[in-house]
Amino acid sequence: MYKYVFRRLMLAVPVLLMSSLIVFGLMRVMPGDALTALMAESGNVGEKELKKLRMDLGLDKPYPEQYALWVWQMVSLNPGDSIFTNEPIPVALKKAVPVTLELATLAIILGLVIAIPIGVLSATRQDTAPDYVGRVVAVSGLSLPDFWLGTLVITFAAIWFHWIPPIGYTSLWDSPWRNLQQFLLPAAVLGFRLSAATMRMTRSTVLEVLREDYVRTAWAKGLAGRFVVYKHALKNALIPVVTIVGGQLGTLLAGTVVVETIFALPGMGRLTVEAILYRDYPVVQTNVMLVAATLVTLNLMVDLTYAWLDPRIRYR
């Protein structure tokens, strides 16, 4: 097991290095740079000042040197300052990461709360009205754009219930109720989207497992229906569901970009979009690398949960 984890971690290193090269390369071929954006903001800056600024920020160095310096900064957990706001990147991340983390966690919880019961219901009542409704909900979740759903939810909450989410971000520790009010709608929008694929997978795997011999035995010995479904069938049906949830983490992180923009939440997604628009290399590079590293780690964790769900699985 430890050997397996170690090998997977070692395999992640070249992948992350390659991702860093892609991100670094992309940022360097961008038309214009942060200084051009800064000049546009602060009026005309002389050629001399521009040269000095470029030197101070290390943008005059050859690309390999800039790359090596950045990788070293990332490894030593000191990714530098934002070119645009001068704020140290760890400080910006310290504010943004908890927002995205909370949004993503709530979305996953809501997604599972929607998906698993409906998926199980769909499977146990196959080809009946609840099954058709569940399947329609799942397919629409895959097709409705989250930015559209977000826009509709905000507007109709305002029109029908005369309610809009509180403006200005409040942290969970300062005011849990106000924070929940701010996060509930965006998390529901993201969660609904996530629930679609999970619901479809839960339905098909529960259907498969319900036809297994051990489930028939459980029925035959007279166990209660709910007990057979939730205790015997669902646990084994959950393995492919975990794979689907793991595979959706990328969708989730991308979804936060859109949802944070619509609901004005100051998370990683919004920070990245703003940094891309201002060509703020260090911030974009750090954020994208952080997301890539998170995805690689989470995928490893998803693989490790298989053994917990099915003790027959052993890692070599």
Partner 1 sequence: MATVTARHADFAEPVGAWGRAHALWTTIRRKPLGAVSAAVIVTLVLTAVFADVLAPYDPVETRPEIRLQALSWAHPFGTDDIGRDVFSRIIYGARISLWVGLLAVGIGTVAGMIIGLLCGYCEGRVDLVLQRVMDAIQAIPGLVLALAIVSVLKPSTTNAMLAIAIVIIPGNSRIVRGAVLSTKQNRYVEAAHAIGCRHPRIILTHILPNVTAPILVIASIWLGNAILIEATLSFLGLGTQPPTPSWGLMLSSTGRAFMEQAPWLAIFPGLAISLAVLGFNLFGDTLRDAWDPKLRRS
Listed residue (206, 14, 190) closest to 124, CA to CA:
206
List the one residue from 36, 170, 181, 261 that touches partner 1 (CB under 8 A): 261
How far apart are CB 150 and partner 1 at their closest, in Å?
A: 10
Q: Where are the alpha helices (DSSP H) in 29-128?
A: 34-42, 47-56, 63-75, 89-124
The string of DSSP letters for 206-274 reads: HHHHHTSHHHHHHHHTT--HHHIIIIIIHHHHHHHHHHHHHHTHHHHHHHHHHHHHHTT--SHHHHHHH
Whichever of 85 and 299 has its CB closer to partner 1, that residue is 299
- Residue 170 exposed, middle or buried by CB count within 10 Å (0-12, 13-18, 19+): middle
CB atoms within 10 A of CB 78: 12
* Cα gap 307→1, rounded to integer Å: 10
Whichever of 218 and 289 has its CB closer to partner 1, that residue is 289
Whichever of 148 and 219 has its CB closer to partner 1, that residue is 148
List the one residue from 40, 68, 152, 301 that touches partner 1 (CB under 8 A): 152
Q: Is 88 in the site for partner 1 (CB under 8 A)?
A: no
Q: What binding mask, one character per residue, do residues 223-252 give for partner 1 by CB under 8 A, x or -? A: -----------------x---------xx-
Q: Is 59 in the site for partner 1 (CB under 8 A)?
A: no
Q: Is 114 in the site for partner 1 (CB under 8 A)?
A: no
Q: Answer yes or no: are the C-beta atoms of 307 and 313 closer than 8 Å.
A: yes
| Token pair listed for 277 | 């628009």
Q: Is 264 in the site for partner 1 (CB under 8 A)?
A: no
* HEC-encoded secondary structure of 51-73: HHHHHHCCCCCCHHHHHHHHHHH
Q: Answer yes or no: are the C-beta atoms of 236 and 209 closer than 8 Å.
A: yes
CB atoms within 10 A of CB 115: 29
Q: Is 206 in the site for partner 1 (CB under 8 A)?
A: no
Whichever of 105 and 297 has its CB closer to partner 1, that residue is 297
Site for partner 1 in 16-35 (CB under 8 A): 16, 18-19, 21-23, 26-27, 29-31
Q: Is 167 in the site for partner 1 (CB under 8 A)?
A: no
List the one residue from 5, 207, 273, 309 that touches partner 1 (CB under 8 A): 273
Q: Is 276 in the site for partner 1 (CB under 8 A)?
A: yes
How far apart are CB 141 and partner 1 at their closest, in Å?
A: 10
Residue numbers at the binding site for partner 1 (CB under 8 A): 14-16, 18-19, 21-23, 26-27, 29-31, 139-140, 142-145, 147-148, 151-152, 154-155, 158-159, 204, 240, 250-251, 253-255, 257-258, 261, 272-273, 276-277, 279, 284, 288, 291-292, 295-296
